Amino acid sequence: MDFPPKLVAEQLTYIDAELFKKVLPHQCLGSIWSKRNKPGNEHLAPTVCATVTQFNSVVNCVITTCLGNPRMIAQDRAMMVEHWIKVAKACQIMRNYSSLHAILSALQSASIYRLKKTWEKVS
């Protein structure tokens, strides 16, 4: 990846902070946000849905950057995994636990976790 891990972590932290500032506490109660998929409930908990969407976007970004290019060899994927581990560490230092958890979830997903040759090359 062309961007330094700290810069990526800073930008993720900024995005997450902006989203969390908009969350309304009552939207977190009573599982209101989880009922949004039913017809007529699209308007329920939009701020919470935005944070969930951001989390899922980070997970998908990590997985895609690690697996998206079929020409990548194990060494290339290992370098990408190492990059995301550095981003995760920077998120931890910045106390951005949402993006930290998203990155770790992606790295522990079955599609990445089972890449034995890749993980052998991760330092």
What would the pLDDT profile of 17-46 be if each residue is shown by its tens digit?
A: 999 999 888 777 766 656 656 666 666 778
Which is more confident, 59 or 42? 59
Looking at the structure, give the CATH architecture of the domain made up of residues 5-121: Orthogonal Bundle (1.10)
What is the average pLDDT across 52-68?
96
Q: What is the DSSP string of 32-57?
A: TGGGTTSTT-TTS-HHHHHHHHHHHH
Q: Using the Cα atoms of residue 62, residue 66, residue 69 and residue 70 in order, give the sign of their dihedral.
A: negative
Under the banding of pLDDT at 50, 70 and 90, the label for residue 98 is: very high
User: In whole angstroms, what is the distance from residue 44 CA to residue 4 CA?
Assistant: 37
What is the average pLDDT across 112-122?
96
Which is more confident, 25 or 121? 121
Per-domain boundaries in the chain? 5-121
